[in-house]
A = this chain, B = another copy of it.
Amino acid sequence: MPTLTETDVRAQLDRLTKPPGSLGSLEDLAARLCTIQQTLRPVTRPRLLALFAGDHGVVDEGVTAWPRAVTAAMVENILAGGAASSVLARSTGTLLRLIDVGTQAPARPESEGYRCARLAPGTANLAHQPAMDVDLFEAALAIGASEAARACEHGVRVVAGGEMGIGNTTPAACLAALLGGFSTAAVTGRGAGADDATLARKRAVVERAVARARPLLARQPRLAMAAVAGFEIAAMAGFYIHAARSGLTIVLDGFIATAAAMVAEQLAPATATAMIASHGSAEPGHAPMLAHLGLSPFLDWRMRLGEGSGALLLMPLLDAAAAMIRDMASFDSAGIPRA
């Protein structure tokens, strides 16, 4: 049981020199941060975006508007500093580390910002066979966990998971339907810009894959999840589980990151209690997925890019929330009369 409850935090917020509640969502953000960190003096740095990349066999089904080669090209772009995630990480003072868990990108030397941990050059095509077997699923989880452990060793206090993988809204939709009990139609959207024909193909694929996986869920949940997962999604789930166990604060990104959070919650219940939902995605399934995890997003900015971009935007607002509760004077300390 936590020692510091939300009620305690709200009481402290009401001692500060402002009308009670007048900072609205900033107070909610501070309350969430303080209850996760169990302190009235929360910290928001150092912080890290662990960005997991993987390719997807299901791209062969025509479920996305983008060619598969874009995953590899975007890995290069992220590491060269030109992607949205690279730019927003710099702008918000967030470390970025890209972990290739299974792309078709060319090998390159490892560095502080890059790890090659490729399990395969992409998953199998989940429309026709399991995306991966349970061993690969476990291996992806373990890679994610090792990244959380590494972050802890480096003194990181706040983490976000991000992803890059052309086609990955398809496995994310499958996992959401499988684990949240949602209809496949409710969680299958246009991703990075699918047209009507692409969306129709995607829906049929998701419907079929989930129908195969569902009967396995009760007795062989890892087999069921592995059948419709992505390497980067499983790695993110392992990252979240280990981060939460290690006392890190997790800032959750959008649709795919939330599908990974559902995997994490399935494997390690209460992982979501360490999470702050950054934004509500333009992808229609995202809102019920967040609700399923008991989370409310802070930004409603119609974003649908991935790469951890929404989580990065929340980082400076996390700084502001932490500074507010840490550094504002109280009515008593400042000698100010109350209403």
Residue positions of A touching B, CB distance < 8 A = 16-20, 22-26, 65-67, 69-70, 73-74, 76-77, 80-84, 87-88, 90-92, 192-193, 282, 298-305, 309, 312-313, 316-317, 319-320, 323-324, 327-329, 333-339
Query: Please, which residue of chain B has its CB at the minimum distance from the CB of A90?
Result: B323
Which residues of B are found within 8 Å of A20, using beta-carbon distances? 193
Instruction: Evaluate contact between A329 and B23: CB separation under 8 angstroms.
Output: no
Q: Say which residue of B17, B282, B316 sits within 8 Å of A24 (CB atoms).
A: B282
The 4 closest A-B pairs by CB, nearest first: A82-B329, A316-B316, A24-B302, A25-B301
Q: Tell me the bound Cα distance from A16 to B309 in angstroms.
A: 14
Identify which of A25, A324, A329 gathers the most chain B CB atoms within 10 Å of its CB: A329
Query: Please, which residue of chain B has its CB at the minimum distance from the CB of A88?
Result: B320
Which residues of B are found within 8 Å of A87, using beta-carbon distances? 323-324, 327-328
Q: Tell me the bound Cα distance from A276 to B327 in angstroms.
A: 28
Instruction: Evaluate contact between B339 and A84: CB separation under 8 angstroms.
Output: no
Query: Please, which residue of chain B has its CB at the minimum distance from the CB of A64?
Result: B339
Instruction: Evaluate contact between B336 and A23: CB separation under 8 angstroms.
Output: no
Q: Say which residue of B19, B70, B88 sits within 8 Å of A336 (CB atoms).
A: B70
Instruction: Evaluate contact between B73 and A337: CB separation under 8 angstroms.
Output: yes
Q: Tell me the bound Cα distance from A145 to B89 in angstroms.
A: 37
Known: A19-B305, A304-B22, A305-B22. A83 touches B313 (CB 8 A): no
Known: A316-B92, A335-B73, A339-B193. A329 touches B22 (CB 8 A): no
Q: Tell me the bound Cα distance from A250 to B164 in angstroms.
A: 36
Identify which of A25, A65, A336 gathers the most chain B CB atoms within 10 Å of its CB: A336
Which residues of B are found within 8 Å of A316, using beta-carbon distances? 91-92, 316-317, 319-320
- Contacts A/B (CB < 8 Å), 10 sampled: A17-B77, A22-B192, A67-B337, A73-B336, A76-B334, A82-B329, A84-B324, A298-B301, A313-B320, A317-B317
Which residues of B are found within 8 Å of A333, using beta-carbon distances? 82
Known: A17-B82, A83-B329, A90-B323. A336 touches B77 (CB 8 A): yes
- Minimum CB–CB distance from A15 to chain B (whole Å) comes to 12
- Minimum CB–CB distance from A169 to chain B (whole Å) comes to 11
- Minimum CB–CB distance from A288 to chain B (whole Å) comes to 19
Known: A70-B337, A335-B73. A301 touches B26 (CB 8 A): yes
